[in-house]
């Protein structure tokens, strides 16, 4: 009975987490919005325990701040945070590629090329959801090659913070087209087994805040 109770509680916590995540992604819970625990638990028909657990997870991931005796607030995404996330993601992805380079084979390169082509097709159809998922899949090929679960988990969390909460309704076409070109350059370096150059390119170009800043400002509306 105890084991069953724990499993059900974990499932409920995850459901609450996904619900709150979806509300943020859709922009229902906007940055700066306060989350009323009493109201939310009543609306979802759950006790405060799974709700509190879900909120703690969101706080650890950087999406909300829990203020003792003052409630829970959805965090805005600042330009400095974006700069920091880019620096960390670039460092981790370049490390993953180098440490997993011995495991990368021709089949991995071909899969990356197919995913990049799929991103081109998604852009033509203005399907940002597909574009975004193919983008994640492409990067995951060399991240997973490292076998480092901590890198994968950390990068996934930071990318969610960057692109999911909230996700703009549209994308910056010029930025996405440039990203595809960068992928092509990266894939070429990996195909030629120039792994150090590829790692440097990931860190110093693809995930460089300075290189991508003009697109980031436009995407997150910092110039308005």
Mean of pLDDT values over 194-223: 94
Tell which phi-psi region holds residue 103, choosing left (phi > 0), alpha (psi between -120 and 50) or beta. alpha
Each residue's pLDDT tens digit, 108-139: 999 999 999 999 999 999 998 899 999 999 99
Q: Which is higher by pLDDT, 168 or 164?
A: 164
Question: Sorting pLDDT into bands at 50, 70 and 90, what band is 1?
Answer: very low
**Domains of the chain by start residue, with CATH:** 2-74 (1.10.10.10), 79-219 (1.20.120.530)
Q: Pick from 57, 66, 53, 55: which is nearest to 6 by CA? A: 53
- How many angstroms separate the CA atoms of 199 and 95, rounded? 7
Say if CB 97 and CB 145 are below 8 A apart: yes
Say if CB 29 and CB 64 are below 8 A apart: no
Burial class (CB in 10 A: 0-12, 13-18, 19+), 86: buried
* pLDDT for the residue 2: 46
Mean of pLDDT values over 186-191: 98
pTM for this predicted structure: 0.88
Q: Is the pLDDT of residue 166 over 80?
A: no
Mean of pLDDT values over 141-145: 98
Q: Is the pLDDT of residue 104 over 80?
A: yes
* pLDDT for the residue 220: 87
Question: Sorting pLDDT into bands at 50, 70 and 90, what band is 62?
Answer: very high
Task: State the residue for tokens 């974990």.
Answer: 10
Mean pLDDT of the chain: 91
């Amino acid at each position: 009975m105890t084991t069953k109770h724990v499993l059900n509680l974990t499932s409920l916590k995850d459901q609450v987490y996904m619900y709150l995540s979806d509300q943020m992604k859709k922009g229902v819970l906007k940055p700066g919005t306060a989350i009323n625990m009493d109201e939310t638990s009543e609306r979802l028909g759950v006790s405060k325990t799974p709700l509190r657990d879900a909120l703690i997870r969101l706080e650890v991931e950087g999406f909300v701040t829990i203020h003792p005796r003052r409630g829970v607030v959805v965090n805005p995404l600042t330009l400095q945070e974006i700069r920091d996330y880019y620096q960390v993601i670039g460092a981790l992805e370049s490390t993953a590629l180098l440490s997993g380079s011995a495991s990368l084979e021709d089949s991995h390169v071909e899969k990356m090329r197919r995913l990049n082509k799929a991103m081109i097709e998604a852009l033509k159809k203005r399907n940002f959801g597909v574009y975004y998922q193919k983008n994640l899949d492409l990067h995951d090929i060399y991240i997973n090659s490292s076998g480092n679960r901590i890198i994968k988990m950390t990068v996934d969390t930071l990318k969610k913070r960057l692109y999911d909460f909230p996700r703009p309704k549209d994308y910056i076409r010029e930025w996405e087209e440039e990203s595809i070109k960068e992928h092509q350059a990266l894939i070429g370096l990996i195909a030629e087994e120039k792994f150090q150059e590829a790692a440097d390119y990931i860190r110093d170009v693809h995930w460089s805040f300075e290189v991508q800043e003009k697109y980031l400002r436009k995407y997150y509306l910092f110039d308005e």
